Structure 1
Amino acid sequence: MNKKIIRFLWVSFIGLLALCIGVFSAITSFMVRQNNAALNRVVDTYMEGMSTQIQRHFETMVDMRLIQVGGIVQAIPPESVTTLDQTTRERFERAAAYRGFIHLALYSIEGEAEVLYGEDVTVEDKEIFLADMNNGDKLVTLGTTAGGETMLLYGISVGYPNDVGYPMSGGQRCTALVVGLPIDQINNALSLGVDSTLIFTHIIRADGTFVVENADIASDNCYDWIRENGRNYGLEDIDDTMAELRQAVEARTEFSMVVSIGGEAGHVYCVPLPNTEWTMVTVMPRGVLDEALATLGNQRVWTALAGCSIIMLAMLAIFLVYFRFSRQQMAELDKTKQKAEHANRAKSEFLSNMSHDIRTPMNAIVGMTAIATKNIDKPDQVKDCLRKITLSSRHLLGLINDVLDMSKIESGKLTLDMELISLREVMDGIVSIVQPQISAKKQVFDIFIQDIREERVYCDGVRLNQVLINLLSNALKFTPAGGQIHVTLSQEPSPKGEGYIRTHFLVEDTGIGMSPEFQSRIFESFVREDNKRVHKIEGSGLGMAITKYIVDAMDGTIEVQSELNKGSQFHVTLDLERFEEREEEMLLPAWDILVVDDDERLCISAADALQEIGLRADWTLDGSSAIEMAERRHAEARDYHIVLLDWQMPGMDGIETARRMREKIGEDVPILIISAYDWGSIEAEARAAGVSGFLSKPLFKSTLYYGLSRFKEGAEAKNEADQEAGADYTGRRLLVAEDNELNWEIARELLAPYGFELTWAENGRICLEKFQASEPGWYDAVLMDLRMPMMDGYEATRAIRACDRPDADIPIIAMTADAFSEDIQRCIQCGMNAHAAKPLDMRELLRTLQGLMSPTANGPG
């Protein structure tokens, strides 16, 4: 592999590796920051919820105690007490003790206290306390007993605003009723200070001193404790943070911050307590959370590294596999290069062979033309020259068609034109094409029909003909004189479903066969077996490649089996779409038929087909047995209704068998010759021997039905050959659009003998003008070339169809050398009725004209 490519691949891999590591690192760092931010949000939410819960719990407890104090006032209304005697004191004492209070006192407006129950207590922040009481507020504060015990005090105003308070011993009226509880009840009531919890809750005054301290703190002031821990933690902005905290406490607003608590990060959340001047400070150490976060971060980093490693390993594996594939691709490219060089050499050899193959018929054409010119006064020799020129021209045309087809295949432009065809007509056409060559080489040719369920199917008839003709042409070329060539046509259900029928075409010969090496390359382009046995056999080396391509395009298969000097077998399998419309029911009377053929397969298939149309069939393999069977039935007065005799049989052929059978059974029983050969060459001899008629192989069910129907009572025999022979086109007018004068002359000379009157138009525009200038119905058809100056055949056709004339639908037939299926489709799409390829096949052209032209008094219609 190129060193630059290898270096590029490695540099790309290392760069991609570095990029992945960098991306993973950035993602991990970003996720850690996001985790910290998310943790802070979670802790804030959690602390806020916990503080709110504790705050509400404290508020509930305070409200409950204040309600209890109010209950004392309701139990002992101030207006019901005129003097503070012993009885009243005892009532207050009982009310306080019942509610769990350990202290109860009355306070005057000036702040003088009269203790009714418990010890004397010094009120903290007495001025604030009196101000709230005198204003009718409720207040919770602290007090200290003479013994130094801190007490939680609840006070409510009793004299405000109506100056109706309890009388005091000094003759004054009290302004407030105050009760006390031990300070420890706050912790118990609020579940604060539980050792197992991570959260500690303190209550502080505005100056930072502790009201309730639920942890071992070395300082008496919360601010100093937090500041000292923050400095130990290295927080440079701790003074600013403490200023914000003090400001929030004084303003009685919530505040949250993160500081060092005991050497580790702690989350501090402050919230004011209702009905007090205090602030609740909740502290949650984040050591466990930080450890969990660190563990999670480490796990994330290791997971990211593991993921990165896995991806890197996968990339490395992919890289190595790609590297390996690249090396294989380079090796394959080298092989492809070698194949291309081999193909180029093959094409060069092919062109060399084609040059020889093309020059051979061209030499014959030129030579025979020169000979005919020199011997113009010798009709027989000129006729022989013209026959050889015709044969050479057809061979040259076949070579050109193969090259053009291969060009279409290699450019991917060969298309299929699916149409409704008759397999019987296809096989009949094949027989008519190969008959002359088979007769010339005296080869034995037979077609076998087995289990044909659908005669009419959808297929590209032209391409199917091409496949079969290619296979048969090879069989004819490579089978020596006297050899055998068989075609077998059979059908079976298709795996593609009920809408299709699987059709098999089997072409077998007893020719020279092929070597195993050549069999593996037979379907390659530009390949011919390099063997002295085939050097004198004409061919382009493209037929099998074209055949394989057509079969593949039809989603079919083609297989070959061959053995040197023993013959070859080609098997084509196609799944063809059925024609849904049912044909007319083909049934004949229950006649007894005798089938005579030396091939058992043909006898069996013919007997099966006869039974399908309602007949009873016996068969035998030779003429002698046939005569005995017919004679025995004749003696029993139950003659066969019809006898079918093969023409070519060993020992006694069909004509001799017919002659001897007539001697035994008389003239009443029709005897028909069945053969794949031309009837004309043996008709006179056969008639003289007593043969009643002829049936052409292959014996399809329809062939048998229509061939035997003429023997029904009242039926008229139809002889297509006689009809064609009697066709007369005298008076028919054709408008021929052709820009080449030589082609016009050829068309005139070929068509005029049949009675046609031809008018020449040198291009499409002149053709349109002559059509428009003629009377409606003057021309019977238009023969339209496609490639013409001024206006081509397509434009001329569209212009004629657009004319405002009753005969604008005149039959227009493309007469062109553009003979591919896409050319035919384009002709039909632009409005033409049919297509005839150059060089002209007069039989097909006459059949097309007869089918398209309307009948006239002097025509054949």
Structure 2
Amino acid sequence: MRLQQKSLLVTLPLILIPTIILGWLSFHYTKDAQVQIENAKLQADVTYRSNAMQNYINNAKSALQFISSSGDIKMLRTRVVRDLPYSLAQEFIVESFETFATAYPDTESIVLFTKDLEPIFGYANPAIQLNIDDVRLTLSDQVWRLISKQNEAPKIEIQLPLIATGEDIEDGDAHWGYVQLILKPSWLELFDLPKDKTSSSFIVSDLQGKLLFTYPYNNVGTTLPSQLFERLLDSARKLQSSDINDGSQKVFFTGKIMDARYLLLYGMSESNVRHHESNITLLTVMIVLISVVIAPMLLFYVFSRHVIQPIEKLANAKQQVAQGMLDVKLEVPNNDELGELFAAFNVMVRQLVVYRENERESRLRLEYKVKERTEELEKTNYALANSNRDLEVAKQISEQANDLKSAFVANISHEIRTPLTAILGFTEQVIADMPSSKYQMDLLTRVLKSGKHLLALINDILDLSKIESEKLELEVSEFDMFELFNDVISILSSQAADKDLEFQFNQHFPLPRLVRTDATRLRQVLLNLASNAIKFTAEGFIHIDVRYIQQTKLIEVTVSDSGIGMSADVQQRIFTPFVQADVSISRRFGGTGLGLVISKSLTHLLGGDIRVFSEEEKGSEFVMNFALSLDNDEFETPLINNLEELAEVTPSCDLHENKPKANAGTSEKMVGRVLVAEDVEDNQYLFGLLLQSVNVDFVMVENGEQAVEKALIEDFDLILMDMQMPIMGGIEATQLLRQAGVDTPVYALTANVMREDIDRHLKAGCNGTIAKPVEKQEFFKVLQRHLAADRETEPEFVLPEAQMKSLRENYLTQLVSQCSLIKTLIHDQDLAGLRSEFHKVKGAAGSYGFVELGAAASVCEVTAKEHLALDICDWTILTNEFGDFVQLVEAVLANNSVQS
């Protein structure tokens, strides 16, 4: 919206509204003034007519008094008094009355009365007949009065007393008679009434409302209504007007009281009054309309000329400056605000010219600096790009290192578990065979213990790797907490008894019976904390306290001991991987420093934490807590309030007695057929011995392809499938069997026991996993689950010493041929063949005591596997690395007196 329109829109109401209000007030004030003027005019009219009537009567009275005082009347008085005839004076009296009648043509009669009111002489207008005997005189204080008869115009009666003076008074009485004058005036002329009978009205009445005269001569009766008369009389007294509606129109009357005896009313019709008012109203409206139209136009013209036009001129100049025309100069119109604005604009333009010159110089300097900075920035960007490339390479190396670490941990676990399977299996079998001397039994027991320790270390390293890579998954289930503690205490109590330590398990009721968490990981944390307490306590006590914090829904387990304790500095470092209190601790008690790190991480995953309170030489206290429900699912769990309730729900639980649970029982021999797919000959022999110990018929194959053929042709009750085999692996073989409709239970034989590996086995169709090294009890449980039972005593896995020696010799003989084959494959640069052979050596060497050879084979297998994924292989490096392995094989054969 333009400024002109805005100004008009803003100022127009400011002008129109006051003007209309003032016009409206002027109209009403003018109307009221006009009413007052009309009222004054009516009042003046009635006063004028009242005065005309009063003058008329006064003139008649004066003339009549003049006649009464004439000599003729005195002569008549003398005659009357002296009782003499007055015929001699009659002529003179008649002449006087005729002279009066000539002066007042309205005279109807003049009659003289005696003091006793007897008429003695009369004069009458020739137009009427006067009977003097009928004339009566009404004496009163009134000098004159109106005489009205029906259907006749009123007459004026004037009566004056006759009073003698001077020598005429003989008897002392000056009042000797009366004279009566009857006038019949022309009322239209007397009151100057208009001939237009519709424009005005005239009424004469007495003060009782009796009508004496009306004009126009309407048939309005003889008396005014009392209420109407009172209103008219009151307005006359107040010199105001009052309106009367006669049925056809409204008439405004103004009254005048005459001689306190008569009421004169003069009225004007409403149309005649409004005619004057309409003229005034029209004039007022025209003035207002002219003001409403002319004032905005005048204002718009003045505002446009003195404000809008200079502003438009300023806007045009601004537009020119914006287009770059800096030679614009405005002439200052007036010495006012706009003039100051024009002057300021001129100053601004001059400053703009100066600024533009400065800007040009600054731009040149800036361009030069920008050029310098650009060159510097290019150099910096180049250096930064090099740094980014270095960082990217470092990032890739780090990621590759991390991936290699994870792959290495998984691979090393597999590779170590494979020989451990044979080591632990054969060791247990030799122990079961009852060696001939205690010395041999002691050595075998130490070997078995070291193997299990090595297996525990592998498990810790795997757990730590999965925790650091955030790949550790929990298996949440609902189980009886007291049964779990019963299993843990049964293990710990025997360990404490071996060191002759006081072992107490204290339950602080109430305690929930059921919990929802990972039972395996909870058992692992509890065993680790308590085993540490037993390990670092030479004498004294081991106390385990269990509490339930209902507010936080956390179960708190406190493990306290009277062991060696720790300093504050050590307490801050014990949860760091591979860290122990000091080197002496490792020498005295062993361990890798992973147990507490893994336990704390697992406790965090279980919804809790571990805290430690310790003092050197006074013992330690570990407080761990875990969530009642790990997945926050609502479930009902009864609260056990005392030992009696606990005995009722779990009568076989002996936690309160702190005794290990006896694990005696019998086992069963198995009946059925088992298919075993295993590519390592030593493991084949080991699984064969285990199956033979329970009289199970089995078939042994070397790869997955043969396993598929056998399973499709023959019937088996159970299939044990190694996952890594030449030609066809276990996963591919299991998938083919499931696709062919074979529903025989399949268990994976593998050293890869990470969660993702187990999930991959189950997804392929396996029913479960048997980890390497094989635990005999777990292995026999799988057999019992799927094979028929033949109840006998628990099978014993027996491996005679002669058989063990024969197996070792056979392996060394086989190793000679393997060494020759490896040399040929190196010469032929056959990476795939070399990988297969390295895998065979890795899986079997450890089982026969050649641990170093198995580790070297594992490294060579990894190297072959990595170079198989590359398009170009550096055989110079590979030949040297594989040659070192051949030399190691030859050294093993030489040390065992076997020729290669």
What is the TM-score with the length of structure 2 in the denominator?
0.42
Q: Which has the higher helix share?
A: 2
